[in-house]
Chain A
Amino acid sequence: MNKRFFIAIGALASLLVMVLSGCGGSGGSSGPVTIKYWYTEGAQEAVVITQLISKFEQQNPNIKVDAQLVDFASAHDKFATAAQNGTAPDVLRADVGWNTEFAANKYLYDITKYVSASDKSDYLQAPLAYATYQGKLYGLPQVTDFLVLYYNKKVLSSAGITAAPKTWSDFDAANKKLTTGGKFGWAWEGSSYFSQPFIFSFGGGLFDTSTNPPTPIINNAGSVAGLNFLKQELAYAPKIDFQNGYTNAVKAFQTGQAAMLMNGPWEYTNILTGSAFSDPTNLGVAAVPMDQATGDVARSPAGGQNYIMYAGTKHPDEAYKFMSFMSSEASQVAIANANKTLPTRQSAYNDSAMASNTAVKSFAALLPTQKARPVIPQGGQIYATVTGFDPNLQKFLTGQEDAQTAANNIADGFKKLVAGS
């Protein structure tokens, strides 16, 4: 065989064995203890993190923190590989979706014993749920997020709508009034993650995690009703581009082409750069509307980041000290003020230093609508195309399948996901 053959095989081989390979080295322990930390914030957000780390090192001269910036997109695989090699960092900032997976794979240190009861009760419920697996704590929540209803105050009031829609029927009525002359009532991102407020608010869900294995409930009556309502309201939104839906929706809202948008606090600053919000007070923030019959249930999917500790750490005490410092009230306030992200401690919201942070304040009021996504080891893959969630949603939205069929198909995919083969 010739060289080309080998090249072809080599290319394939790399596809075949994504688990092997990886790098990293572990620090020794002589004199002061060194804690290795991987953080995943963007360059701008990372400024406050490095400041906090120096502060921690000043307060704890016996502990050095070897902090490394790791690209968020590759952090999951990098940590998984390093965990298997025994070269993972002592502490990692992990997406809430990875926490359970890593815990189930036994990569994480059980920190239950370190966390006091008062501490536990200070953390918000949904974020803390992500850090809990089989009754044990495997992480400390850093920041949280969820979806809210952003709206263009000027446009709504000039259409005679005085308050943000509270219920889906308000939302529908508003859409009918707002959708005229090339403008749209709202814009939607067009992906599975953003269909969750609809599914949750009508009493549906993704999984019932009380059973083992978890049972898909994406095809129950509430979920299907939510999907049907979603499709009905898409008549008042720009046509969806499944691949660019997210940026298109934000852009439509920013430019005033659409009057409402469901998105998270992470887009807050970006939305304000849009032409429709040159006056920042024009941006309204409200809760995701509810279904009148179902009531004011938790319906907004929560996301966020946790600090987690590697099971193979040689210095769990020092590592925990670092984690708890980073997730302390003072640190959370510092991060929230610097990055306009949402703290995970109740006390942080009440902190006096937070008083002037209007953005955080307006989100704080909506925190009760937060709903934790299924806390299962496969949580990270729920929204990947291979579960059939997005593909079937697309079939439903383009009229290839009705809501029930699509939901049943997604349920089949979910079943396969948790069956683990």
Chain B
Amino acid sequence: MATVTGTMMPPPMTRVTRMRRYLRSKWFAYACITPIVVATAVLIYYPLIVGIYYSFTNASGTNPNNVGIPFLNIPSTFKFVGLKNFFDIFANTDPTVDVRLIFLQTLEWIFFNAVLHFSIGLGLALLLNRKIRFRGVYRALLIVPWATPQFVAAFGWRFLFNGDYGFINLLLERLHLAPIDWTGQPSAAMAAVIICNVWLGIPFMTITLLGGLQSIPNELYEVAELDGANGWQRFQNVTLPLLRPTAVLVTMLDVIWTFNVFAIIFLITGGGPYHRSDTFVSYAFQVAIINQKYGLGAAYGVIILLILVVFVMIYSRLLRANEQVY
């Protein structure tokens, strides 16, 4: 019996000694990373856990957390309400907003942004990948939207979309066309915010796809040409398949990024008219920040978090799959 145990596991002392030796050799490394681990935990997990906790309460601007002022002896007045916030969202009980519409608009927002980012980005990348004159200038110009902070871009476009004094409507008027009611017409409002976000997102897409295009060895095009492939066939058989890993990843990143945007929507249309250009994130921002419904806002935040977790899982899956492509 004793022999069996002895052969199956090393005597405890040995393991402790090994552990001790391991720690002695590695303690400095652990000491170095400890502050980062602690900071990460505090900065990321603490707010996250508090946020999740709030999502189960009715905390709001008029019902706040007063635990921080013990010297005033004011008790916190918000209550634990269980899943009520989530129930309210999924049961669509809020008379002022149709959550189903917000959900559909979120899909619409992601879909159009992703498709337009990708197709315009690919088109520009293909153009810039050729030896055209002033290529450097175009590339430099392309950085402009990228270097523009989101809110600056949003304000700029808001000027352009101004119904009475905006450049776009003035131009339409000049061309004797009907002006567009950018903030009063639901589809026009959605178009307006999408246009701004597309404008902002094109450089990232273009530069990344351009990088992807440039990493395709020129010999492959030459060999395909010798094999008898015409331009379109080369695009189909060389460009697209070799760009695919880049394209998939960048689109996934774009979807995550687009999903998270709220400043553009908030500043250009305010989500209006009547929430018809709102997405989950921009609406949650209004609930939580503007209307100070912290509990409900946190519940939206948790739902958004879960959606993002799914996105990120897909993304990491793709990332891993891509490593094995070639």
Of the four ranges (under 10, 10 to 19, 20 to 34, 35 or more), the interface on chain A belongs to 35 or more
Interface of A is mostly: helix
For B315, the chain A residues whose CB sits under 8 A away are 4
Do A238 and B164 contact each other (CB < 8 Å), given the known contacts A86-B68, A312-B69? yes
Q: Which residues of chain B come closer than 8 Å to A394, judged between CB atoms? A: 184, 272-274
The residue in chain B whose Cβ has the minimal distance to the Cβ of A4 is B312
Contact B47 A17 (CB under 8 A): yes
Per-position contact with A for B38-64: 1 when CB-CB < 8 Å, else 0?
001001100110111011001111111
**Is A364 located at the chain interface by the 8 A CB criterion?**
no
A420 engages B271 (CB within 8 Å): no
CB of A401 to closest CB in B, whole Å: 9
CB-contacts of A356-383 with B (<8 A): 377-378, 380-381
Judge whether A23 is part of the interface by a CB distance below 8 angstroms. Answer: no
A203 to B160, CA, bound (A): 39
Does the CB pair A243–B71 fall under 8 Å? no
A12 at the interface (CB under 8 A from B): yes
Contact B44 A386 (CB under 8 A): no
- In the complex, how many residue pairs between chain A and chain B have their CB atoms under 8 Å apart? 210
Measured between alpha carbons, how far is A1 from B40 in the docked complex, in Å? Answer: 14
A220-243, CB < 8 A from B: 238-243
The count of residues in chain B whose C-beta lies closer than 8 Å to any C-beta of chain A is 79
Q: Is the CB of A6 within 8 A of B40?
A: yes
Among A9, A86, A398, A420, contact of B69 (Cβ-Cβ < 8 Å): A86
Residues of A228-269 at the interface with B, using a CB-CB cut-off of 8 Å, are 238-244, 248, 251-252
Enumerate chain B residues within 8 angstroms of A385, measured Cβ to Cβ: 270-272, 275, 286, 290-291
Taking a contact as CB atoms under 8 Å apart, the answer to whether A105 and B272 are in contact is no
Q: A239 and B181: CB pair below 8 A? A: yes
Known: A385-B270, A386-B291. 9 other contacts (CB 8 A): A9-B48, A9-B305, A10-B44, A15-B51, A15-B285, A241-B184, A378-B62, A386-B287, A388-B96
Report 28 cross-chain contacts, Cβ distance below 8 Å, ordered by A residue: A8-B256, A8-B260, A13-B44, A13-B51, A15-B288, A15-B301, A16-B50, A19-B64, A19-B294, A80-B61, A84-B67, A101-B62, A106-B72, A238-B164, A239-B163, A241-B162, A242-B183, A242-B184, A244-B163, A244-B164, A251-B165, A312-B72, A385-B275, A385-B291, A387-B96, A397-B184, A413-B96, A421-B60
Residues of A bordering B, CB below 8 Å: 1-2, 4-6, 8-20, 80, 83-86, 101, 104-106, 238-244, 248, 251-252, 311-312, 377-378, 380-381, 384-388, 390-392, 394-395, 397-398, 400, 409, 412-413, 416, 420-421
